[in-house]
Amino acid sequence: MKDPGEIWREYQWMIVGVLAVVACLLGVIGFTRYFAVHMPEATWFDSVYYTLQLFSLESGSFTGEVPWQLQVARFLAPGVIVYTAINALLVVFRD
């Protein structure tokens, strides 16, 4: 039986990848719902564009009611990037 640390090391990048995809899906859904209320002229491509910007903290701030999907994506996307960056630094300095 493998210990939890060994399982995490084996599957961490698959999990991080799934979390990135989940952040993208929730971001597109959240932005689409937000734009439907606040900016009806926005397109689906605008939702994708702003979702990709979530990963670099560049999507800006929004006023009014923000859908829960977008709220989750706003924290999950940068979290994925920070986790990946920290692991990259650890690998570089470990060697």
From the CB of residue 52, how many other CB atoms can be counted at a distance below 10 Å? Answer: 15
**Closest-CA residue to 12 (of 93, 91, 92, 75):** 91
Q: 55 lies in which domain range?
A: 4-94
Q: How many domains is the chain built from?
A: 1
Residue 62: HSE in the Cβ half-sphere, 13 Å Cα cutoff: 20
pLDDT of residue 37: 94
pLDDT in tens, 21-62: 999 999 999 999 999 999 999 999 999 999 999 999 887 778
pLDDT band at residue 64 under the 50/70/90 scheme: confident
Tokens standing for 32? 């689409």
Q: What is the mean pLDDT of residues 58-77?
A: 90
